A and B are shown apart, each in its own frame.
Chain A
């Protein structure tokens, strides 16, 4: 290559030529710079993406909690004194919280102020008290200091994510801000580790909403998807690569698989809606249906990866096995497939990772429903992590955006683990022939 800008041969001496050469070198440097800029720009986008998510998510680990001295009043919880489960479930725990708040702030009077005070504690806190009493019915008629989740606005305010008092938009009034400062001074307001986020299902109250339900739904869906896509994908790859004659029919199958790999995922959702839910009348919102749809979607990926892995096994292996008298199927099942397995598994893991992040087809089959309970089986209504992210990102409360970002981190953690597993598998078992 010409890399000298100071011409020392006879050609460069003429002024016109050297000018021209300088221009060409400048163009060369410019072009190279465009390339650097393009790469830098895409890396910037990557950084912006992750930092935007992380900056919204990191606050999730703390949850503001308020300590209240709760008098588990027998007259309120269980007037009959029989400690029947039904009575304990149906009791008015809200009254206990009100009493507890009243004990902390005896000076507050008036209906409006009392209501404002009550709004500091999560409206889901009644279930936390209920849970406590159900676990230990002996609590009734005793006195205990209990840490309860603060309302989402309080949490956001204490984390400095929304303004309160006079500058705020009215979500936290000046009075409420003063009460909160008061509580903090008395050690009744602390930020604790947010175990609720990891141990509960969805909720209408941001501070009570967690990802466990969605994570379990994702797991069930993925298991169904794996159970269908892996064997079917491997079997069709084996047939196409090892047994299929080269004819129109196999060509058609190949073209089909390549095209299916590029069909928009939402179309698979439409297929699931009209065939699985419409014709076969399978239950809506069920991981079973989600798994089938995702399996159809990932099948081409698995087949293509498995075929590549089978192709990489050298023919000498096949010939040697045939030479000692194995049948063509014995060659495949005993020799070729085990050697191709690491590659196939790598491809399958990558396909599963993609299925885990897929949202659109699951919206079609009703996995967007609001589901509080944690699913226990493949036909229970459930949602999955990406859909949960979608739902939370769409919700108007500021606190749900924090939860969506945190759920993204969880989802990305799963994806990174799966991809790392695939990379390690490839490193560990990769064979060069």
Chain B
């Protein structure tokens, strides 16, 4: 909250700077704005930027660096017996200290060096806050003074402001790149740490997945195994079921809507199909877990099949329903993009509508349709909530749609939700799975976008 105050103070100062800069520019020329080289607003804007930007940048950098600095100071101040600890244990120790400090005064009952660490932590936080307030407000004032001195009628404030805005624009559009880099780096670092503990070949080709780490060495099931093949197989099975549901329905809907339906019917039906895409996935998860799964189980039971209560079929079918609109609206676009001349040529030869569609339109639209199917596939692989709620946790290596299987996303969620150390092989495994997921969906997306784009260029 106190950081918020600092930011508000800086913003207030910058606003004051804006008004004063504008006023000063006007005052210097006796109220005749045309004698200024830039409009008064730009002089005000110059003040605002000089005053606010450096100070805000300072706050952000400070806040980014503070945790690491405080941690280092607190840990280096602890008694010598904690020095030789491994980095994992140090993390744990530091978490304890932080928890102790955030609980406030209730440090009684804790180890004395922890309590000392906690109070050290608190005092460092306080000092840091005060120092930040002083430093950033000084920076704002310095900016204010600097800009104030530069405002003269001949000062080209507009150029300065516009180049500054341009830099801000470039920075914000580079954010997308930083996000990607952030994703790749964070996944990669944790994955490398995971492969230090578990060999990469075991992970990629192992057939057994049981990620629990033992508390004691002699515990039953203490040997954890990180073979991800059953997970990949389960993901593939569920996505395949989803595609079996979604591709025919989605494709036929797209054909019907774009070729057969009247304009009015299309105007009503298309948005209704798109509602399916707008429903949050947690709603599908609810539907799958509480309605479809019991239904599938009961129907399987009547037919004498042994259906698991968290069968791959239920999750897959509901996921298929979810991606129908992706397939249909993307295919609709590519089918509509096929030139009318091709259709007319086919009709001219005496072909019927369905024959034209099957033999002329679809082959012409095929690359685009494949692209849309790949996009839908990547959506299915990355989908989380439906499978978390309706698919199982047991990593069975099976192709039976009535058995319970697990998926990459389910495992990520179960490995990371709940309290555990950040550094155990279990949590790191989730990042390795995340990297695999990211890589697969990225490849699918790139291939899909490339096929779609290549095809578009051909007809445009």
Write out the residue numbers on chain A whose beta carbons fall within 8 Å of the beta carbon of B170.
Answer: 239
Which of B16-24, B112-120, B147-155, B346-354 sits within the interface? B346-354
Q: Are B278 and A419 in contact (CB under 8 A)?
A: yes
Determine chain A's interface SS by DSSP, over half rule: helix
B158 interfacial contact with A, CB 8 Å: yes
Q: Mark B289-301, 1 if CB is under 8 A from A, else 0.
A: 1110000000000
**Cβ 8 A contact of A264, one of B273, B283, B381:** B381
Known: A35-B260, A262-B378, A360-B409. A280 touches B64 (CB 8 A): yes
Known: A34-B252, A300-B176. A266 touches B437 (CB 8 A): yes
**Would you give 27 A-B contacts (Cβ < 8 Å), ordered by A?**
A24-B355, A31-B354, A32-B256, A38-B250, A38-B252, A39-B269, A42-B328, A53-B286, A232-B172, A243-B166, A256-B176, A259-B446, A264-B382, A266-B382, A266-B412, A267-B382, A270-B183, A270-B430, A271-B182, A271-B186, A280-B64, A357-B281, A358-B280, A364-B417, A386-B385, A393-B286, A412-B283
Q: Are A386 and B162 in contact (CB under 8 A)?
A: no
**Cβ 8 A contact of B389, one of A236, A265, A394:** A394
* Alpha-carbon gap, A340 to B355, bound state (A): 44
Q: Are B179 and A260 in contact (CB under 8 A)?
A: yes
Q: Are A260 and B256 in contact (CB under 8 A)?
A: no
Known: A257-B176, A280-B67, A408-B283. A263 touches B248 (CB 8 A): no
Residue among B189, B276, B282, B347 with most chain A CB within 10 A? B282
* Alpha-carbon gap, A397 to B76, bound state (A): 50
Q: Are A252 and B412 in contact (CB under 8 A)?
A: no
Q: Mark B316-352, 1 if CB is under 8 A from A, else 0.
A: 0000010011001000000000000000000100101
A258 interfacial contact with B, CB 8 Å: yes
Q: Are B182 and A53 in contact (CB under 8 A)?
A: no
Write out the residue numbers on chain A whose beta carbons fall within 8 Å of the beta carbon of B281.
Answer: 357, 359-360
Segment 123-182 of B: residues with Cβ below 8 Å from A: 158, 162, 165-166, 168-170, 172-177, 179-180, 182
Known: A235-B173, A243-B169. A270 touches B187 (CB 8 A): yes
Q: Are B352 and A25 in contact (CB under 8 A)?
A: yes
A253 interfacial contact with B, CB 8 Å: yes
Closest 8 CB pairs of A and B: A264-B382, A357-B280, A35-B256, A38-B252, A236-B173, A31-B354, A360-B384, A239-B169
* Alpha-carbon gap, A85 to B255, bound state (A): 70
Write out the residue numbers on chain B whose beta carbons fall within 8 Å of the beta carbon of A231.
Answer: 172
Please give me the residue from chain B that is nearest to A297 by CB atom.
B179
* Alpha-carbon gap, A219 to B445, bound state (A): 32
Known: A265-B382, A327-B158. A270 touches B255 (CB 8 A): no
A166 interfacial contact with B, CB 8 Å: no
A27 interfacial contact with B, CB 8 Å: yes
B50 interfacial contact with A, CB 8 Å: no
Q: Are A262 and B256 in contact (CB under 8 A)?
A: no
Please give me the residue from chain A that is nearest to B286 by CB atom.
A393
* Alpha-carbon gap, A355 to B67, bound state (A): 29
The smallest C-beta distance from B15 to any residue of chain A, in angstroms, reads 17
Interface residue ranges, A against B (CB under 8 Å): 1-2, 24-25, 27-28, 30-32, 34-39, 41-43, 45-46, 48-49, 52-53, 56, 231-232, 235-236, 238-240, 243-244, 252-253, 256-260, 262-268, 270-271, 273-275, 278-281, 296, 299-300, 303, 327, 329, 353-354, 356-360, 363-364, 368, 377, 379, 386-387, 389-390, 393-394, 401, 404-405, 408, 411-412, 415, 419
Known: A266-B409, A415-B278. A256 touches B180 (CB 8 A): yes
* Alpha-carbon gap, A34 to B354, bound state (A): 11
Q: Are B442 and A359 in contact (CB under 8 A)?
A: no
Segment 420-460 of B: residues with Cβ below 8 Å from A: 422, 430-431, 434, 437-438, 441-442, 445-446, 449
The smallest C-beta distance from B51 to any residue of chain A, in angstroms, reads 19
Known: A259-B445, A271-B186. A45 touches B173 (CB 8 A): no
Q: Mark B240-273, 1 if CB is under 8 A from A, else 0.
A: 0000000011111101110111000000010011
Write out the residue numbers on chain B whose beta carbons fall within 8 Å of the beta carbon of A415.
Answer: 278, 280
* Alpha-carbon gap, A386 to B284, bound state (A): 11
B7 interfacial contact with A, CB 8 Å: no
Write out the residue numbers on chain B whose beta carbons fall within 8 Å of the beta carbon of A262.
Answer: 375, 378-379, 441, 445
Write out the residue numbers on chain A whose beta carbons fall within 8 Å of the beta carbon of B417.
Answer: 363-364, 368
Known: A42-B276, A280-B64. A411 touches B176 (CB 8 A): no
The smallest C-beta distance from B261 to any residue of chain A, in angstroms, reads 8
Q: Are B321 and A45 in contact (CB under 8 A)?
A: yes
* Alpha-carbon gap, A281 to B434, bound state (A): 21
B399 interfacial contact with A, CB 8 Å: no
Q: Are A31 and B357 in contact (CB under 8 A)?
A: yes
Q: Are A263 and B256 in contact (CB under 8 A)?
A: no
Q: Are B260 and A32 in contact (CB under 8 A)?
A: yes
* Alpha-carbon gap, A27 to B272, bound state (A): 28
The smallest C-beta distance from A392 to any residue of chain B, in angstroms, reads 9
* Alpha-carbon gap, A394 to B170, bound state (A): 45
Q: Are A56 and B290 in contact (CB under 8 A)?
A: yes
Please give me the residue from chain B that is nearest to A278 by CB atom.
B422
* Alpha-carbon gap, A239 to B325, bound state (A): 32
The smallest C-beta distance from B200 to any residue of chain A, in angstroms, reads 19
Write out the residue numbers on chain B whose beta carbons fall within 8 Å of the beta carbon of A327.
Answer: 158, 162
Q: Are B291 and A270 in contact (CB under 8 A)?
A: no
* Alpha-carbon gap, A212 to B325, bound state (A): 32
* Alpha-carbon gap, A257 to B358, bound state (A): 35
Q: Are A299 and B285 in contact (CB under 8 A)?
A: no
Determine chain B's interface SS by DSSP, over half rule: helix
Q: Are A275 and B172 in contact (CB under 8 A)?
A: no
The smallest C-beta distance from B297 to any residue of chain A, in angstroms, reads 16
The smallest C-beta distance from B454 to any residue of chain A, in angstroms, reads 15
* Alpha-carbon gap, A53 to B168, bound state (A): 46
Write out the residue numbers on chain B whose beta carbons fall within 8 Å of the beta carbon of A43.
Answer: 269, 272-273
**Cβ 8 A contact of B176, one of A236, A390, A412:** A236
Write out the residue numbers on chain A whose beta carbons fall within 8 Å of the beta carbon of B183.
Answer: 263, 267-268, 270-271
* Alpha-carbon gap, A262 to B452, bound state (A): 15
B275 interfacial contact with A, CB 8 Å: yes
* Alpha-carbon gap, A260 to B174, bound state (A): 13
Q: Are A42 and B256 in contact (CB under 8 A)?
A: no
Please give me the residue from chain A that is nearest to B94 by CB atom.
A281
Write out the residue numbers on chain A whose beta carbons fall within 8 Å of the beta carbon of B176.
Answer: 236, 253, 256-257, 260, 299-300, 303
Residue among A31, A42, A252, A405 with most chain B CB within 10 A? A42
Write out the residue numbers on chain B whose beta carbons fall within 8 Å of the beta carbon of A281.
Answer: 67
Q: Are B282 and A390 in contact (CB under 8 A)?
A: yes
* Alpha-carbon gap, A239 to B168, bound state (A): 9
* Alpha-carbon gap, A2 to B268, bound state (A): 29
Write out the residue numbers on chain A whose beta carbons fall within 8 Å of the beta carbon of B446.
Answer: 259
Known: A52-B290, A303-B176. A270 touches B280 (CB 8 A): no
Q: Are B352 and A2 in contact (CB under 8 A)?
A: yes
The smallest C-beta distance from A283 to any residue of chain B, in angstroms, reads 9
Q: Are A259 and B180 in contact (CB under 8 A)?
A: yes
Known: A35-B253, A274-B431, A280-B67. A263 touches B442 (CB 8 A): yes
Q: Are A408 and B286 in contact (CB under 8 A)?
A: yes
The smallest C-beta distance from A57 to any residue of chain B, in angstroms, reads 10
Known: A42-B249, A258-B449, A393-B389. A236 touches B175 (CB 8 A): yes
Write out the residue numbers on chain B whose beta carbons fall within 8 Å of the beta carbon of A25.
Answer: 352
* Alpha-carbon gap, A356 to B278, bound state (A): 11
Write out the residue numbers on chain B whose beta carbons fall within 8 Å of the beta carbon of A299.
Answer: 175-176, 179
Residue among A34, A46, A267, A278 with most chain B CB within 10 A? A267
7 additional contacts (CB under 8 A) given A27-B354, A43-B272, A266-B384: A24-B355, A35-B259, A49-B279, A239-B170, A263-B441, A274-B186, A359-B385
Residue among A2, A265, A296, A359 with most chain B CB within 10 A? A359
Please give me the residue from chain B that is nearest to A36 by CB atom.
B256
Please give me the residue from chain B that is nearest to A242 by CB atom.
B169
**Cβ 8 A contact of A393, one of B180, B290, B382, B442:** B290
The smallest C-beta distance from B122 to any residue of chain A, in angstroms, reads 15
